[in-house]
């Protein structure tokens, strides 16, 4: 039970340890415990280990429906869609009413370019679907260029999240945090703080971007350049914040406790924090490691202390496209801000305001990059990014970048596994949806218009 609790709350290493302890105490292999261990390893990106354990677990407990779904997702993560589909079809033949297996099979339909089959699989009674199934239904309609029906499915999914799952966005938590950080991270207070003096063994490259802005696409492209490894969103800098009261004296909380670096042994403190940051990235090869944790926007002050010369690449996209793309996902996002377009827009505004403050108060190695440029001119845009970072070496040619099919690293970030060839479906997609549902952006237009203009996208049209 501890293994389950730790795994489901994201403490994967501790969860793995407890699963292995349970097996050791049993003194034998157990199909249920092994399947849970395999899922934990899958979440860690250790796909080969997870696959082998799933095979043994299903040999012992062939009736474990969750293990069938988990093993299918391992195949998907490897890019072996034929095996995933075969496993899911076999499972659905045994348990035709199993909704998780049906949803995974539906997502496979969409990925493999069969949206009509996906719709048929979900049926014609949307009010009886779960939020995750409604999102998949909307995605199938989107692939068929039926935006009005896609919006209806997405909107109903968000309604179910709010009403049936009880999810709500509480902006006060984040506005209060933003106010605290803005009050502390001002040039006159921050400038005297010491920085880590010894250059890091590897250079983190921080990729900023609100969810669905294109930061994952940039990380995929950089993963095709020699010397770069993708660490995705594992162990973000924000995870270091709870450790800091144990390393510095006094009773202040972050960020005020940073003042103690002026009198404490700051080299030791900053060195320990760096070591904690690099520990889960120790297996990643190459001198450059990309870090695209969304929460990094909150912690640019700490990043500046730990990695003073780290390049910060900010991927931007038309805010209306960002809102639409998040609407089309079954993701809660930070603070449950994904439960409605209005909540997503408010959180976007808070985070962009936080970044604007940091840029005005700290000296950052900052480069903005537009998603639209990544898609339409990938080689030129990637060259600009690599030159800014200061990385040597040649880029893949245009055809290789467009194919977006470099060997998958181990452990593989989920977004690299699920990557697609470069496409133009997401370019200003909001226009077709706005025409199909004129009220779609009415509640957020005033919030987003200043950012649309500030980012150079014109007047919001």
Check pLDDT > 90 for residue 342. yes
Check pLDDT > 80 for residue 285. yes
Dist CA 236 CA 226 (whole Å): 23
Dist CA 208 CA 124 (whole Å): 40
pLDDT tens, position by position, 57-102? 999 999 999 999 999 999 998 888 999 999 999 999 999 999 999 9
Q: What is the pLDDT of residue 418?
A: 56
Please give the distance of CA 129 from its chain centroid, rounded to a whole number.
25
Please check whether residue 209 is in contact with residue 316, taking contact to mean a CB–CB distance below 8 angstroms: yes
For range 115-129, the mean pLDDT:
95
DSSP track, 161-176: HHHTS-----HHHHHH
For range 335-355, the mean pLDDT:
96
Check pLDDT > 80 for residue 421. no
Residue 228 bridge partners (DSSP): 288
> Using 50, 70 and 90 to split pLDDT, how confident is the model at 23?
very high
pLDDT tens, position by position, 359-414? 999 999 999 999 999 999 999 999 999 999 998 877 877 777 766 666 655 565 65
Spell out the domains of the chain, with CATH numbers in brackets: 2-163 (1.25.40.10), 171-454 (3.40.50.300)
pLDDT tens, position by position, 292-333? 999 999 999 999 999 999 999 999 999 999 999 999 998 888
Cβ atoms within 10 A of the Cβ of 100, count? 18
Please give the distance of CA 62 from its chain centroid, rounded to a whole number.
33
pTM (2 d.p.): 0.88
Q: What is the pLDDT of residue 417?
A: 55
> Using 50, 70 and 90 to split pLDDT, how confident is the model at 264?
low
Q: What is the pLDDT of residue 349?
A: 97
Q: What is the pLDDT of residue 447?
A: 96
Check pLDDT > 70 for residue 184. yes
Q: What is the mean pLDDT of the chain?
A: 90
pLDDT tens, position by position, 200-209? 778 999 999 9
Q: Is 197 or 368 the better-scoring residue by pLDDT?
A: 368
Q: Which residue has the tokens 């899922």?
A: 39
Task: Report the DSSP pairing between strands 203-208 and 365-370.
Answer: unpaired
Q: What is the pLDDT of residue 409?
A: 58
């Amino acid at each position: 039970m501890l293994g389950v609790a730790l795994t489901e709350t994201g403490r994967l290493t501790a969860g793995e340890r407890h699963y292995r302890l349970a097996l050791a105490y049993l003194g034998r292999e157990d199909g249920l415990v092994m399947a849970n261990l395999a899922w934990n390893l899958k979440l860690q990106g250790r796909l080969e280990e997870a696959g082998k354990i799933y095979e043994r677990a299903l040999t012992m407990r062939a009736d474990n429906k969750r293990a069938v779904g988990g093993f299918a997702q391992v195949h998907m993560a490897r890019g072996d869609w034929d095996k995933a589909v075969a496993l899911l079809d076999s499972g659905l033949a045994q348990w035709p009413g199993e909704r998780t297996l049906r949803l995974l099979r539906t997502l496979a339909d969409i990925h493999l370019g069969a949206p009509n089959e996906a719709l048929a699989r979900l049926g014609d009674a949307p009010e009886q679907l779960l939020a995750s199934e409604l999102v998949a239904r909307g995605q199938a309609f989107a692939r068929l260029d039926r935006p009005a029906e896609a919006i209806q499915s997405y909107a109903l999914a968000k309604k179910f999240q709010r009403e049936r799952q009880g999810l709500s966005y509480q902006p006060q938590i984040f506005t209060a945090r933003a106010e605290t950080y803005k009050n502390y991270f001002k040039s006159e207070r921050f400038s005297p703080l010491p920085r880590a003096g010894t250059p890091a063994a590897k250079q983190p490259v921080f990729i900023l971007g609100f969810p669905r802005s294109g930061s994952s696409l940039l990380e995929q492209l950089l993963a095709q350049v020699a010397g770069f490894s993708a660490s995705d969103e594992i162990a973000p800098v924000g995870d270091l914040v709870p450790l800091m009261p144990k390393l510095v004296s006094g009773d202040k909380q972050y960020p005020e406790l940073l003042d103690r670096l002026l009198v404490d042994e700051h080299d030791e403190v900053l060195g320990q924090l760096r070591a904690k940051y690099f520990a889960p990235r120790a297996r990643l090869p190459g001198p450059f490691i990309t870090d695209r944790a969304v929460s990094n926007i909150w912690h640019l002050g700490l990043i500046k202390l730990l990695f003073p010369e780290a390049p910060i690449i900010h991927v931007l996209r038309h805010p209306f496209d960002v809102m639409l793309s998040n609407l089309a996902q079954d993701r809660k996002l930070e603070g449950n801000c994904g439960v409605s377009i209005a909540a997503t827009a408010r959180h976007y505004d808070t985070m962009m305001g936080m970044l604007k403050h940091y840029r005005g108060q700290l000296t950052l190695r900052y480069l903005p990059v537009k998603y639209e440029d990544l898609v339409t001119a990938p080689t030129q845009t990637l060259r600009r990014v690599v030159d800014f970072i200061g990385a040597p070496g040649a880029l893949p040619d245009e055809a290789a970048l467009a194919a977006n099919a470099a060997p998958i690293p181990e452990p593989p970030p989920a977004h690299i596994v699920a990557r697609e060839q470069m496409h133009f479906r997401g370019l200003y997609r909001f226009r077709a949806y706005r025409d199909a549902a004129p009220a779609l952006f009415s509640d957020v237009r005033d919030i987003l218009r200043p950012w649309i203009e500030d980012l150079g996208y014109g007047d919001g049209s």
